[in-house]
Amino acid sequence: MSKKFTEESSKEIYKQVSESIVNEKIIILLTGNSLQTVLEVGHNAREKGLKLVGIDFRIPGVKDSLKSLKRQGQKNLGVFFVTTKKEARTAINAGAMFIFSPHSDKGIIRRCRKEKVFHAGGALTPTEVFNTNDLGADSVSLFPCGRMGGLSWFEFLKGTFPEIRLIPTDVMPPYDVRQYLAAGAYAVAPVIDLEKVKEPDTYIKEFMEIKTSI
Within 8 A by CB and 6+ apart from 128, the residues are 104
Is there a contact between 168 and 190 (Cβ–Cβ < 8 Å)?
no
Q: How many domains does the chain have?
A: 1
What CA–CA distance (Å, rounded) separates 209 from 78?
Answer: 22
Residue 6 confidence class, pLDDT cut points 50, 70, 90: low
d(CA 86, CA 92) in angstroms, rounded, equals 10
Residues 92, 189, 213, 51: what is their CA dihedral angle, to the nearest 10 degrees? 20
Average pLDDT over residues 183-210: 95
C-alpha dist (Å) from residue 2 to 7, 9, 175: 9, 11, 47
Least confident of 64-68, 185-189, 191-195: 64-68
Look at the pTM and tell me if it is higher than 0.85. Answer: yes
Per-residue pLDDT, averaged over 181-201, amounts to: 95
Domain of 31 in residue numbering reads as: 3-213
pLDDT in tens, 137-179: 999 999 999 999 999 999 999 999 999 999 999 999 999 999 9
Q: What is the pLDDT of residues 9-62, one digit of tens each?
A: 889 999 999 999 999 999 999 999 999 999 999 999 999 999 999 999 999 999
140-151 exposure pattern, b = at least 16 Cβ within 10 A, e = fewer: bbbbbbbeeebb
The reported pLDDT for the residue numbered 76 is 79
Which CATH number covers residue 167?
3.20.20.70
